[in-house]
Structure 1
Amino acid sequence: MSTTTTAPGSSQAPPRPPDRPRDRADRSARRRTLGTAFVYAVLAVVALIYVYPFLITVATSFKSDAEAVASPLSLVPATWTTAAYERLFVRSDFPLWFQNSAIITVSVTIGRVLINSMAGYALARLQFRGRTVIFAGLVAVMAVPSVVLLIPKFLVVNQLGIYDSYAGMIVPLLADAAGIFIMKNFFESIPRSVEEAARIDGAGPFRTYWSVVLPMARPALMTLVILSFQGSWNELAHFIVASQDPELRTLTKGVAQLASGALSQGSQYPLKLAAAAIMTIPVVVVFLVFQRRIMNVTTGAVKE
């Protein structure tokens, strides 16, 4: 039997203790923290890239024309001035444009919510001949670029005698294929047993839709409100072919004319960007109000 001896003066490292579960958990937590911090840093940079042009828009609207040309990317005006806003509201038809856009947008939003939800419910639940063909046509319309439909829209509006009127600007926008598609898909996700219980209680198709199914479709309705408001508020092409009366000019048409130098010559950067900044306010307000109401209320409605 032989024994191993260690020479005097030589050193041998003690064996490394095994990692404890707590140490492994701490290292894993540190890695997750670093990974999360990195992701948030990247998202902050991306958000800044998207927000920076809007910040330039707001800052430039408070500059003078000369300063806007000399330092267009500065976020802090050297001299704050509200001359651009005063010129918009006092020396232009901007209030009239805002009024026309508000009337059209509110009317279109209400109409789209009602018509799209009713059409979506009919395609999702009601059994009638030609339903599949209608839905296929709906999908086909979604695939057609909107610019292709401008001339047919003009011809229809003109033949109906509603050219240069609020009706010609509102009626063609009261329904859209994308909104019907969204509502149809959401209604199909609602359990049929909810409607069967309503029918047992004596409710007809419209009563079932209005009193039972529609309140459960709140997430889709709020999404539709946001998309309809934003789409009709920023609409330009349809308004170009539907009217030419200056009294019916909307914000999009008016701001487009400002961008082409309608009020005077020169760059007019503060004037144009002040109009653009004001245009964004209603859309932001509507989004902040309704996005908080987007919540799933169908979970737990019926126990299958």
Structure 2
Amino acid sequence: MKLRAVLLNLGVAVIALIVLFPLAWMVSVSFMSTGEASTFPPPLLPRTFTLEHYRDLFVTQGMGRYMWNSLALATLATILALLFTVPAGYAFAKLAFRGRDRVFQILVGALVVPAQIGTLPLFLMLKSMGLVNTYAGALVPWLASIFGLFLVRQYALSIPDEMLEAARMDGASEGQIFRRIVLPALQPIIVTLALFVFLGSWNDFLWPLIVLTDQSNYTLPVALAALSREHVQDVEMMMAGAVITVAPVLILFLALQRYYIRGMLAGSVKG
């Protein structure tokens, strides 16, 4: 048994090294001098440590504005998604209304439809509303995701009906019940959903590329793709841009991963 445990841990360690190596090399290359990573064999560590690529990205390429765009959009998307999805998920779990189960089944069935199919109709709709090249248009897909609704609904099923009925018997309104009982009980899944939406919005490339036509409105992934066309040979600068894009959300995920995992596991078994 001890040998088996050692081999298992060794295998996990090897897999972890294989997964983490590209990320670590990306960070290392971002500190190399221009052209150093293009030599053969590629160096693992920079011969001369430099911050010139980060300085160029923020001073010359305006990466600070794109980072602010991504931060603003991801934050607003998270807030709006919680405002719409959490009450709706609770309603589908605990409030009785006509056609509730049928509507939920239709929504869950829509999960199998690729999101790209709705891209063109949504773009045409926003164009007719004058929301193309606006942050409002970029936020629309995140307002109420079906997956988030499913997560909240499944978790809300675990709230005892007796607790809600006791609150109603004491004269509490539905709004008071939601604020004082439901929201505290849903805290793990709310953190999970917030992290899920923030990461998804921050890393989203296709929809901002379609709906944001003005370069000053670009988010980090779109700006980095546009920059790569101009500096395709500058591997070090592209790696620095990738680090700037990945580092904030990676730190956020590592800080909140226990809530994320707890909420995902709970949402998968409730109900």
Is the pair's TM-score, using the shorter chain for normalization, greater than 0.5?
yes
Partner of 1:279: 245
CA offsets 1:134-190 (integer angstroms, 9 cap, x no match): 212211221111111110110111122211111111133221110000000000122
Aligned mates of 2:81, 2:114 — CA distance in 1: 20
Q: TM-score, normalised by structure 1?
A: 0.82
* Aligned positions of 1:207-226 closer than 5 A: 207-226=176-195
Q: Give the match for residue 209 of structure 2.
A: 240
Q: Aligned residue for 1:15? A: none
TM-aligned CA deviation for residue 55 of structure 1: 0.6
Structure number with the higher helix fraction is 2
TM normalised by structure 2 equals 0.91
Correspondence 1:177 to 2:177:
no
1:203 partner amino acid: A
- In the other structure, the counterpart of 1:122 is 91
Whole-Å separation in 2 of the counterparts to 1:50 and 1:177:
31
Question: Which residue, out of 94, 111, 115, partners 1:142?
Answer: 111
1:74 to 43, 66, 72: 43
Size of the aligned set, in residue pairs, is: 263
Residue 195 of structure 2 is aligned to residue 195 of structure 1: no
Alpha-carbon distance in 2 for matches of 1:170, 1:142: 19
User: What letter is aligned with 1:174?
Assistant: L
Unpaired stretches in structure 2, ≥5 consecutive residues: 264-271
How much has 1:72 moved relative to structure 2?
6.7
- 1:268 matched to 2:231? The reply is no
Cα distance in structure 2, aligned partners of 1:36 and 1:194: 45
The alignment-based identity, stated in percent, is 34
Amino acid at match of 1:92: Q
User: Structure 2 CA distance, aligned partners of 1:131 and 1:72?
Assistant: 61
Partner amino acid, structure 2, of 1:63: M
Deviation at 1:94, TM superposition (A): 0.7
Structure 1 residues 284-293 or 74-83, which shifts more? 284-293
Q: How does 1:1-304 map to 2 (within 5 A)?
A: 31=1, 33-71=2-40, 73-261=42-230, 264=231, 266-293=232-259
Further displaced range: 284-293 or 195-204: 284-293
Whole-angstrom distance in 2 between the partners of 1:203 and 1:38? 58
Q: Which runs of 5+ in 1 are unaligned?
A: 1-30, 297-304
Are the aligned partners of 1:142 and 1:178 in contact in 2 as well (CA < 8 Å)? Answer: yes
C-alpha contact (below 8 Å) 1:61/1:271 kept by paired residues: yes
Q: Would the alpha carbon gap of residues 72 and 188 (structure 1) be closer, same or farther in structure 2, given more than 3 Å must change?
A: farther
Q: Residue 18 of structure 1 aligns with which residue?
A: none
Distance 1:149 1:65 in 2: 42
Q: Given the superposition, is the C-alpha separation of residues 173 and 81 from structure 1 closer, same or farther in structure 2, using an over 3 Å criterion?
A: same
Residue 222 of structure 1: how far off its partner (Å): 1.6
Larger radius of gyration: 1
